Amino acid sequence: MKRMLALLFACAMGLAQAAELVDGRLVVDVRTHEEYASGHVKGALSAPVDKVGDIVEQVAPDRGTPITLYCRSGRRSEQALQALQSRGYHKLENLGGLEDAVKRYGPLVR
């Protein structure tokens, strides 16, 4: 029930793509919305680093959700990882930069 409510809330907030897990993980692009719009991994949630905690909590309230983070170079995704750890998330991965995301998940979509 909690998961369903979270997904309904995510849809209402325009975060419908967040319901899609990629390889069993929530993939989060922590770049700006403009960077995300220029190309992102298919199925990735847009959650800029300064809002990542609030957005991820809305979409994945379960602190055991496996989450992979990426940005342009890996620096912001490390900041996002630390922000999510401070909120109790523990299955986190800093994938690094956009090139690393493309290697794992395939070409970018717009």
Burial class (CB in 10 A: 0-12, 13-18, 19+), 95: buried
Cβ-proximal residues to 79 (8 Å cutoff; 6+ apart), any chain? 30, 49
Residues in CB range of 41: below 8 A, 6 or more apart: 22, 27, 29, 70, 101, 102, 105, 106, 108, 109
Among candidate residues 18, 60, 71, 92, the one labeled active-site is 71
- Asked if 18 and 59 count as a contact pair (C-beta separation under 8 A), the reply is yes
User: Is 71 annotated in the active site?
Assistant: yes
**β-bridge mates for residue 92, sequence order:** 67
Active site residues: 71
